[in-house]
Structure 1
């Protein structure tokens, strides 16, 4: 499957928040989440934070509340910013800069969302795609 997956005629909308509720967001994703391959990566930060990631287009994502609470963390080669709530510590998103070598051409307008923050989180309905990030 291409990364990110090719949108279909179907989509699903979701809301989410950090543990304390200070950071709130919403997004629409296509294909719908129950068909979307959710990435489970074995790299050090994804493993420690329990990330299960999806990649909606930035135009379909909005941060509704908590801009002032978000903190950022970078490590290693410092190519991405892991964003978390400064109040409760929940790992919410990963911000990838535009024109990053980590993304294929044309995908620099995606958001990276930790599905564990979703209000309707149910990993039993996910199609989990294991990613060997430890080897990167």
Structure 2
């Protein structure tokens, strides 16, 4: 695979959750979605993913990360328990490989993601169709590094 990757860094406000999103798309070429669910609307989320890229997540203090599940309980929404920022949603396939969608607003280059987002509504999906869609469209997670908490 010779495709070029663009490392896009970001994280929550306080720095407890950090990520490196290695995308095959430049920020102004990412496909951006606005989900119609109440969680995403209330957070003002703009989401993106790249099935040809990868994601690295670093958690400084794992005890202060909220893994929120709602609806069909098919994904963990990572929220910093310190500053309250929603960073990404994660799901696993049957072999425990993780896949993610990223909240564009947490990227350091978020201002470069100025293209219009497409509003999507996933209410009619079954659990199986939701998982299949995510496995096709979400970004593979290559690492989730958790630091030791220092109290």
Q: Please report the TM-score for the alignment, with normalisation by the length of structure 2.
A: 0.68
Q: How many residues align?
A: 122
Any gaps of 5 or more consecutive residues in structure 1? Answer: 1-6, 100-107
Match among 93, 102, 118 for residue 129 of structure 1: 118
Q: Computing the radius of gyration over CA atoms, which structure comes out larger, 1 or 2?
A: 2
Deviations 1:5-39 (A, max 9, x none): xx994442211010112211112112223112111
Any gaps of 5 or more consecutive residues in structure 2? Answer: 126-151
Which portions of structure 1, spanning 4 or more consecutive aligned residues, are displaced by more than 6 angstroms? none
- Report the counterpart of residue 111 of structure 1 in structure 2: 100
**Superposed displacement of residue 98, structure 1:** 1.1
Match among 8, 17, 27 for residue 33 of structure 1: 27
Higher helix share: 2
Deviations 1:55-94 (A, max 9, x none): 1459721113435132111112211111100111110110
Q: Please report the TM-score for the alignment, with normalisation by the length of structure 1.
A: 0.74
CA distance in 2, matches of 1:29, 1:8: 13
Q: CA RMSD in A?
A: 2.6
